[in-house]
């Protein structure tokens, strides 16, 4: 099967499915296009035995990534809104910061929540190990292990 055949056979099915889930045709159409692009660049299309299962899985993953990005962006913008106006960075710096936050979130995906929290408290919020231990209700040694766990994931990918 080629990507063209897959698109012709299953594109409208996926679009209808995503329109029902997302509630609008514009976001659904974008997600369909991104799904087929991801399949084209990440899979041996000719070897796909169950195209609808693959398309559904890829679309769900992309949708979850999009929701996660939107949540991070909202949280960042809410934090900026609490800052004095003279400390708010220009739009291009905000975009770079959001991209960095999304990348950090992607790298920390799969790390236990406590490790992620400790790492972000140390690296983003600048908290000391003692402050992190108190905030999370864990020992200093556990804080060190959790931060190391997240750092290894960020720096080495495992």
Separation of alpha carbons 148 and 158, rounded Å:
12
pLDDT tens-digit map of 103-154: 888 888 889 999 999 998 998 888 999 999 999 999 999 999 999 999 998 8
Q: Would you state the pLDDT for residue 158?
A: 64
Phi, psi of 66 (to 5 degrees): -65, -45
Separation of alpha carbons 6 and 17, rounded Å:
16
Q: CA angle, 107 as apex, 105 and 112 as ends, to 5°?
A: 80
Q: Would you state the pLDDT for residue 88?
A: 84
Separation of alpha carbons 158 and 155, rounded Å:
8
Mean pLDDT on 67-87: 85
How many Cβ atoms from other residues are within 10 Å of residue 115's Cβ? 21
* 14: three-class secondary structure by DSSP: helix
Q: If you count DSSP H runs as helices and E runs as strands, how many of each does the chain have, helices first?
A: 7, 0
pTM of the model as a whole: 0.68
Q: Would you state the pLDDT for residue 55?
A: 97
3 exposure class (CB count in 10 Å sphere: 0-12, 13-18, 19+): middle
Mean pLDDT on 47-63: 96
Per-residue CA distances from 63 to 68, 132, 141 (Å): 9, 32, 37
Domain locations in the chain? 1-90, 108-158
- pLDDT > 70: what percent of the chain? 99
Query: Do the Cβ atoms of 104 and 143 come closer than 8 Å?
Result: no
Q: Would you state the pLDDT for residue 125?
A: 83
Judged by average pLDDT, the poorest of 40-44, 79-83, 93-97 is 79-83
Q: Give yes or no for residue 83 having a pLDDT over 90.
A: no
Separation of alpha carbons 92 and 129, rounded Å:
32
How many Cβ atoms from other residues are within 10 Å of residue 110's Cβ? 9
Q: Give yes or no for residue 9 having a pLDDT over 70.
A: yes
- pLDDT > 90: what percent of the chain? 61
Q: Which two tokens stand for residue 4?
A: 């063209």
């Amino acid at each position: 099967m080629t990507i063209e055949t897959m698109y012709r056979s299953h594109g409208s099915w996926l679009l209808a499915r995503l329109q029902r889930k997302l509630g609008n045709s514009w976001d659904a159409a974008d997600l369909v296009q991104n799904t087929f692009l991801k399949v084209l660049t990440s899979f041996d299309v000719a070897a796909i035995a169950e195209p609808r299962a693959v398309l559904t899985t890829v679309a769900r993953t992309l949708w979850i990534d999009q929701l996660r990005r939107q949540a991070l962006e909202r949280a960042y913008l809410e934090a900026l809104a609490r800052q004095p106006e003279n400390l708010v960075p220009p739009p291009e710096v905000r975009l770079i910061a959001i991209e960095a936050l999304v990348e950090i979130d992607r790298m920390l995906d799969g790390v236990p929540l406590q490790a992620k929290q400790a790492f972000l408290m140390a690296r983003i919020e600048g908290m000391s190990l003692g402050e992190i231990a108190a905030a999370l209700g864990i020992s200093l040694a556990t804080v060190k292990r959790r931060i190391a766990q997240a750092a290894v994931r960020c720096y080495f990918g495992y």
